[in-house]
Structure 1
Amino acid sequence: MQTAEGVAVLVEEAAAATRYLCAGAHLDEEFARKVVEEIEDEHHRAYAPTFGINIMLVHQHARQALQRVADRDTGLVVCLLVSLALQPALTLVMWVLMVFISGPPAGLDPRPARLRHPVSGQQGGGQVRVVVGAVVRLLIALAAMAIVAEFAPILPWPLVWIHGLVPDLIIGYPLLVLIPWIITWQERSSAWHIVSKRLTSRGFATGYPNGVPEGPITDGNITVYSGYSPFIGSGVELDSWSTTTRLNATRDLVGDIPPQREPWTVPVTAGELVEGLVAQLSELGQETTDSADGIAGLTVTEKLFVDGTVVRQNAVRLSGLTKAVLPDENSTPEYWIPEEIVRRYRGYHRGPIRHCLRSQVAAWGADLVLSVFLQVTVSGGTLYLESTTFLLPPVKEAYRVADSVVDAPAPEVSYLPADRAGGDDSVLGAQSVAAGFLALVSSPVRLYRALRAPARRRKRNSELLQAIKSDLTFDYGARLSLRDLASGPNYRNYFQRVDVARISRQIHLRTLDFVATTLVERDIDVSELLERRTAVYNSGVLMTGGAMHGTIVAGQGNTVIEQVPTDERAKKKK
C-alpha cells in the first residue's frame, strides 16, 4: 500500500522530465527555437510521442526564453546602429574583432563551486580565473579600439565622422562594450533566476501545487510517422531479435505415420496470440503479492504505425482508417482511434501500416523510457515474431542544473544581483563579458530572424495547405521528438543500465514463455522458440545506436565483444 509521501514522490518523478525540458529552453537557445518551431510551424503534421511530458508547458518557457533573447538583441542592435551612425569605420572593424576577443561561450551557472577548470575539468576554484579573464577581455577590447581609432582618420570621409582618440573611445567603448555587457548581464541574470528559483523541485511544486497540468496526449494507440523508422520518439535501438516457427504438429520420430490425416489448418492466429500476450504482459505490470516478479509502471498498448504519406491513399481510405485518423485533412492527425480498428490490423503484414504490441516502462522518475515493440504474424503456416527494444535515455546533464541549487525563498522577479538567485554576482557578470561580445556580433541576424518569424510561419502554413490540397501523398507524419532531442548520450547511473537489462529480459521471457505454452497446448513443435528463449536468457543488451554501447552478460561462459569505433581502431593499430 502506498503512503501519501510515496504518492507525492511519484507525482514529482512524473513532473521531473517536464521540468528539465523547461529548464533546457532557458539554458539552450537552439533547443528553445526547436521547440517553438515544432509547436508553431507544424500545424498539419503529427507530434511525436512525448511520454507524459507537457509539451505546451515547455513551449511556454521556450517562448519566454526567446522573447527575452529578442529583447536583448533589440538593445544590442540599437547600440550597433548608433555606433555605426557616429563611427562607421570603428564600428565595422570592432564588430569583426569581437569574434576573436570573446573566446568560447560560457555556460549559465554563476556558482563558483560549479565552475570547471579548462584543462583538468575539475569543479571549484574557478571564480578568480573567470573574473580575471573578463578583465583581460575588457582591456583587450579597449586596446583594440584605441589602435583602430588611431588609424581610422586615414579612411575617407563617409567612414569617419569623428576624429580624435579620446572622442572615439568615449563614444565607441560604451556603445560597443559596456552597454552590451550590461544588457547581456541582465538577460542572463533573468534566465538564471527562472532556472534556479522557479524550475527547482520545490519551486516547480510551488508554482503548480495541484500537480503539473496535463498537456495534449500525443502517445495514443496510433503513430503517424515520417521517414524510415516508425518508432519516432522512442530513443535509440538497444537490441532486436526475431524467430520463425513452422506451425507443424509434434510427432515422434520413431514409428509409423498414420496413412490418413485430417486436412491441416492453422492451429493458432495472430489475433489469439496478441490477445493472450496483452493479458500476460499486463499481469506482469501489476506489482502485487501474487506477482512477485512484476514490473512497476509497465503499460501494454496495441498500436498502429502508419506512414504519413499513405494516410489519404485509396486503399487506406476504403478501410475506414483515413476517416478515423484524419477527420480534418487540414488539421493534425488523431492520436487515438477506435480499438476495433486497431484490432483489425492484428497480424497485418503488407504495406506501411503495421500493428505492434508495445510494452513500455518509465523508470527512474521517467528519466528512462524503455519500449519493447513486438510484431506477431502468422502467414503460410509460419509464425513470425519480431521484437525491437528502444531506450529513451536520460535528459542531458546540462538541463538538470536546477537540481543542484539549494532552494531558498525568492521574489517573483529578479534581475540583479545574481547571488539572490543562488549564484555569485561577480561570476555571472564576468561570464557576461564574453557572452555580450558574441551576442553583439550575432544580434542583427538573430533579431532579423525573430522579426521575420511571424511572416515566415504564415507563408509556410499557406504552402502546407496548398500541398495538402494538391498532393495526396502529403506527409502527415511526425518528424522530430522534443524529448529525444533533449536526451543525453549516456546512462547517469550504473544501476540504470542494470534495470534496463533486467526489465527487457523479463518482458522477452514472459513473451516467449506464453507463446511456447500456447503452441505446446496445440501440439506444435516449439524447439526453435525454446532456443530463442535460451539465447535471450543468457544474452546481454547491446545498444546498436547512439553513444551508449556495451553489454550486460548473464550466464556462465558468455563473452563480451567490445565495440570500438573505426577511428579508435586505427589509433590502436598505429
Structure 2
Amino acid sequence: MTAPGRRLPELAQYRTDAVTRHLCAGAHLDEDFARDVDTELTEDRLRATGLSLGIDLRALARHARAAVRRIDARDRRLAVICAVGVWAAVPVLLYAVATARWDLAYTAAALVVLAYASAWWLVHQAESRARTAALTVEHGAQRPADLAPAVEPDVERRLLEQKRANVVPYTASAERTNPFVGSGSKLKETVWQPIDVSRPAEDPAGGGKLAVKPFDAVDLHTYVAREMENIAGLKGLQVRNRLYVIGNHVPYVGAELLPDRLERPRAQIPKQLVQAGLMQSGAGMRTYLSLVRAGEGGRAIVSMHLRARLHHPSLTWEVSAYGIPPLQARFDRVNRLPVDGFERWWSLVRHATGATGPALIGAASRLSRRLSDRRRRARALEKTRREIDKRHVLYDYGAVDSIRERVADWDQLGYTERTDSQDFLQRLQQGVLIATERFLKDHNVDTSSYDQAQQVINTHTYTFQGSVQAGVIGDNGTVNHHNNAPGAQGGPAGQGRGTP
C-alpha cells in the first residue's frame, strides 16, 4: 500500500513457483533425487503421500520421470556398447597379442576405441540434454508442468487431488513427536488460555443482557478461515480444514478415505467428515484449521495448525506452529551451469571425459540393480497386501514425511526468511485473536474473559530457527535453539522410506 499519487518503480520479484522450478531442474541434474521422486510419486504403494506445500507435485513427477527415462535409455545403449565393443574385443585382443596376430590386435583395439568414442558421445549428449532441460525449466516462461510429458492418467489425477488435500493420514510413530507430517519442523505447540463464552454481553442500547447466539466449533473455524487473510494482512494465505488421522486408524474412517484396503488412501474426503472431526474427535482423528504462508518465492514456509476446543462454558485454542526452511544448496547447481559458448562446451567435455569410463563399465550392473530393486519393492508390496487381505493385518497407511521438508536445510535459512517468517507467525497469532473476538461479539458473548486471556496469549512469541526439540522454552515462550537442531530436515531425498 502506497500513499495516494506516489509512483515507484517495481523491483524484480521471485517467481511464485521458484521452488517447483528448482526441484524440477534438480531432478534433471541429480539422478538419485529423480529416482526417489519417481518411485514415491508414481510407483504403486500403500502409504499416503505427504503434503505438497509450495510445490507442484505433478510437474515434479513429470520431470523426474523424464530424467529417469533419459538415464535408463543411456544406460541400455551403454550396456550394448560395452557387451559388443569391450567385453567381446578384449579376449580377441589378448589372443592376438599372444599369437602375434597383429591384424586382429589392430581390429580389436579399433573396436575398443570406437566403443569408447560412442560411449563418450552418449554420455555427452545425455548430460547436454539434462542441462538444457534444467535450464529451460528454471528460466523458461512456460509452466514447469508444460515442459515435460505427462505421467499415467491415474497418477496425474491423484497428484492433482493431493494439491487440495483435506485429509492427512500420518504414520503412527509421528503421533509422539510431529503429527503434522509434511509441515516441517515444530516451532511451538501450546493450548491458549481458556475463554468463558457462556456469559451474554450487555445490550449497548440498555435494557439488560443480549441473548447469546448459539454456535459451535464448525462455525468458529469457518469464520476464522474466511476472515484470516484480510485480518492478518497476509496476501496468498492458504487456509484449509484438514482431518489428521493416525495411519493405522485410516480404515475406521470409512470407504470415503479408503475405498480399497489394498490401495493407498485418498487425499480428499467429503467435508462433512472433516467437520465431524471438529465437533468431536474420533479415535486418532482430529480436524485442524491449517494456515500456510510461503515467503518470497516459496523459499521458506510457515504453518499454524489450530483446533477450537469448545466445551461450554469455555473455549480454548490448540495451536501448533511449524516451519520449513529453504532448499538444500545442491538444488542451486542449475544457477551455476555455463549457459553457452566455450565454457559450456568445455564443461560438457570435461564431464563426459571423466564419467564415460565408469558409466560404460557399470551400465549393465546399474540396469540389473534397478530391476532388482523394483522387483524387491514389488515383492514387499505384494507380501504386505497378502497380510492385509488374508491375515487382516492393521496396516499403517500414514505418510512419513513430504518431499518438500525432506530436501530442506536450516543452514540455508537467511535473515530475510527468518524475519519474514517470524512476522508471519505473529500476524497469524494476532489474526486468530482478532477473529475470535469479532466472532464472539457477533454472537453476543461477553468478551471480558477474552480480554484477560489475550494478555496471557500475547506473550507467546515464535523463533523461526528449527525444531523445538533442539532447544528450550525461554522467557515469554521464546524458543532458543542450538545450531545442530536434530529436527532439521537436511538428509538426502528418500531417507526414511523403505516400506510399501
User: TM-score when scaled to structure 1?
Assistant: 0.64
Aligned pair partner of 2:170 in 201, 204, 225: 225
AA at the equivalent of 2:227: E
Deviations 1:440-490 (A, max 9, x none): 454233111344566556545533442331325122222342223333444
2:260 aligns to what SS in structure 1? Answer: coil
Please name the residue that 2:97 is paired with: 163
1:235 maps to 2:184: yes
Residue 559 of structure 1 deviates from its aligned partner by: 8.9
AA at the equivalent of 1:283: E
Distance 1:305 1:204, change over 3 A: closer
Aligned pair partner of 1:327 in 259, 263, 272: 259
Residue 513 of structure 1 deviates from its aligned partner by: 4.7
For residues 195 and 66 of structure 1, the distance between their equivalents in structure 2, rounded to whole angstroms, comes to 14
> Could you tell me whether the CA contact under 8 Å between 1:282 and 1:298 is conserved in 2?
no
Deviations 1:171-211 (A, max 9, x none): 69637865543332222112112112354233558957xxx
1:358 maps to 2:305: no
Please name the residue that 2:467 is paired with: 544
> Could you tell me whether the CA contact under 8 Å between 2:249 and 2:283 is conserved in 1?
no
Please name the residue that 2:459 is paired with: 535
Residue 221 of structure 1 deviates from its aligned partner by: 1.5
Residue 310 of structure 1 deviates from its aligned partner by: 1.4
The alignment yields a C-alpha RMSD, in angstroms, of: 4.4
Please name the residue that 2:415 is paired with: 494
> Could you tell me whether the CA contact under 8 Å between 2:302 and 2:324 is conserved in 1?
yes
AA at the equivalent of 2:50: A
Distance 1:496 1:564, change over 3 A: closer
Deviations 1:35-73 (A, max 9, x none): 121123344432222136332332222122112212222
AA at the equivalent of 2:59: L
2:290 aligns to what SS in structure 1? Answer: strand
**Matches for 1:264-275 after TM superposition, within 5 Å:** 272-273=216-217, 275=219
**Matches for 1:428-447 after TM superposition, within 5 Å:** 428-440=348-360, 442-447=362-367
Q: Name the % identity.
A: 23
AA at the equivalent of 2:183: S
**Between Structure 1 and Structure 2, whose CA radius of gyration is higher?**
1
1:500 aligns to what SS in structure 2? Answer: helix
Distance 1:338 1:449, change over 3 A: same
Larger deviation: 351-360 or 222-231?
Answer: 222-231
> Could you tell me whether the CA contact under 8 Å between 2:26 and 2:334 is conserved in 1?
no
Please name the residue that 1:112 is paired with: none
For residues 281 and 137 of structure 2, the distance between their equivalents in structure 1, rounded to whole angstroms, comes to 49
Residue 237 of structure 1 deviates from its aligned partner by: 2.0
Please name the residue that 2:236 is paired with: 297
2:399 aligns to what SS in structure 1? Answer: coil
For residues 375 and 506 of structure 1, the distance between their equivalents in structure 2, rounded to whole angstroms, comes to 17
> Could you tell me whether the CA contact under 8 Å between 2:60 and 2:145 is conserved in 1?
no
For residues 559 and 450 of structure 1, the distance between their equivalents in structure 2, rounded to whole angstroms, comes to 48
Distance 1:395 1:550, change over 3 A: farther
Aligned pair partner of 1:181 in 120, 130, 151: 120
> Could you tell me whether the CA contact under 8 Å between 1:283 and 1:294 is conserved in 2?
no
Deviations 1:62-111 (A, max 9, x none): 12211221222223333443433443699xxxxxxxxxxxxxxxxxxxxx
Residue 306 of structure 1 deviates from its aligned partner by: 0.9
1:503 maps to 2:424: yes
Distance 1:525 1:196, change over 3 A: closer
> Could you tell me whether the CA contact under 8 Å between 1:234 and 1:391 is conserved in 2?
yes
Deviations 1:186-241 (A, max 9, x none): 22112112112354233558957xxxx99512142211222414322222223333
Please name the residue that 2:72 is paired with: 70
> Could you tell me whether the CA contact under 8 Å between 2:184 and 2:405 is conserved in 1?
yes
> Could you tell me whether the CA contact under 8 Å between 1:198 and 1:207 is conserved in 2?
no
Residue 26 of structure 1 deviates from its aligned partner by: 0.6
> Could you tell me whether the CA contact under 8 Å between 2:323 and 2:464 is conserved in 1?
no
Residue 347 of structure 1 deviates from its aligned partner by: 5.3
AA at the equivalent of 1:77: A
For residues 306 and 185 of structure 1, the distance between their equivalents in structure 2, rounded to whole angstroms, comes to 48
Please name the residue that 2:22 is paired with: 20
For residues 205 and 379 of structure 1, the distance between their equivalents in structure 2, rounded to whole angstroms, comes to 47
- Report the count of equivalent residues: 441
1:344 maps to 2:276: yes
For residues 560 and 230 of structure 1, the distance between their equivalents in structure 2, rounded to whole angstroms, comes to 19
AA at the equivalent of 1:533: I
For residues 26 and 171 of structure 2, the distance between their equivalents in structure 1, rounded to whole angstroms, comes to 26
AA at the equivalent of 1:386: E
> Could you tell me whether the CA contact under 8 Å between 1:87 and 1:162 is conserved in 2?
no
Residue 248 of structure 1 deviates from its aligned partner by: 10
Distance 1:21 1:245, change over 3 A: same
1:477 maps to 2:477: no
1:369 maps to 2:369: no
Residue 528 of structure 1 deviates from its aligned partner by: 7.2
